Amino acid sequence: MELSCGRPAAALPGMEAESPGEDYESLPSGASLSTHMTAGAVAGILEHTVMYPVDSVKTRMQSLQPDPKAQYKSVYEALKKIIHTEGFWRPLRGINVTMLGAGPAHAMYFACYEKMKRTLSDIIHHGGNSHLANGIAGSMATVLHDAVMNPAEVVKQRMQMYNSPYKTVLECIRTVHRTEGLGAFYRSYTTQLTMNVPFQAIHFITYEFMQEQINPRREYNPGSHILSGAIAGAVAAAATTPLDVCKTLLNTQENMALSSVNVSGHLSGMANAFRTVYQLGGIPGYFRGVQARVIYQMPSTAIAWSVYEFFKYFLTKHKLEKRAPY
């Protein structure tokens, strides 16, 4: 999830434009740390939970050697089959750990991004908008976000797999910790970062490009934020699917798949994951689950962008109304 940092926006109707440092495209300088974190937490939780059943399907469709009973041709067929054979609530297994991780992870992401963006912009561009500052701030925020979210991803994906031996989140955490050690929760961290940095870059560039085309005045326009977010999410998701497949393999440690290529113990490292995926599925293996990933990401990023843009609009409007003379 990215934050917007475009050009100065037009003034809100009936109000004078603010200085460049306090336009709509940046939360008010007076906004507290808790405001940034609350906005980020709400956006993050909604982003990850609304489309969670599709995320469960994506994890299974990325399996390199799925059980014959867990082979699906489409997202709809997969959801229908999972609900029919495993129960109505099965696609939601692991959603609680995702919510627990997404809240603090996105709260810290937004707070870190806003703080570092302002600090670096002051240094690089003397308070003006700097794309270099935005890029560095986004990268630093991503490192922090993934450090919090990665353990939740490991637990979530293990619970999403077909015939998962874990009944509860706590059982999964205890078992993984006992049998594989603490390092298991960060085995895919470097792959996650390698995926998320280009994902964020593509996502950000696409969103900004779409906003320039359909909302050039950069006003608060829910429709434009939703459409731009959906397209940005789809493009970024499709482009980074190979890295997501490798991340899923590192998180789930599929026993059948690893045994078939004579991998003993636990698979670790992005290079080893890339090699193993190619051995098991060739080039098409890198794009397993791409349909589900795009279908999941489009509404997720649309929701996240629209929620955060609403917070920016609401806070800025409230601040300007307080300043307006009676």
pLDDT given at position 13: 39
**pLDDT, tens digit only, all 326 positions of the chain:** 434 444 333 333 333 333 333 444 444 555 677 777 888 888 889 889 989 999 999 999 988 888 888 999 899 999 999 999 999 999 999 999 999 999 999 999 888 887 887 888 788 877 565 667 777 877 888 899 999 999 999 999 999 999 999 999 999 999 999 999 999 999 889 888 988 888 887 887 888 789 889 988 878 899 999 999 999 999 999 999 999 999 988 888 877 777 777 776 788 788 888 999 999 899 999 999 999 999 999 999 999 888 878 877 787 677 667 766 65
CA distances in angstroms from 226 to 54, 55, 69, 190, 200, listed in the order given: 19, 20, 37, 30, 17
CA–CA separation, 214 vs 235, rounded Å? 17
Number of other residues whose CB lies within 10 A of the CB of residue 240: 23
Q: Is 266 exposed, middle or buried (0-12, 13-18, 19+ CB in 10 A)?
A: middle
pLDDT given at position 4: 40
* Torsion, Cα of 218, 222, 226, 228 (10° steps): -20
CA–CA separation, 319 vs 295, rounded Å? 37
Q: Pick the closest to residue 139 from 116, 118, 123 (CA basis).
A: 116
pLDDT given at position 17: 37
- Say which amino acid occupies 83: I
**Cβ pair 297, 234 in contact under 8 A:** yes
| N- to C-terminal Cα separation, the chain | 39
**Cβ pair 220, 309 in contact under 8 A:** yes
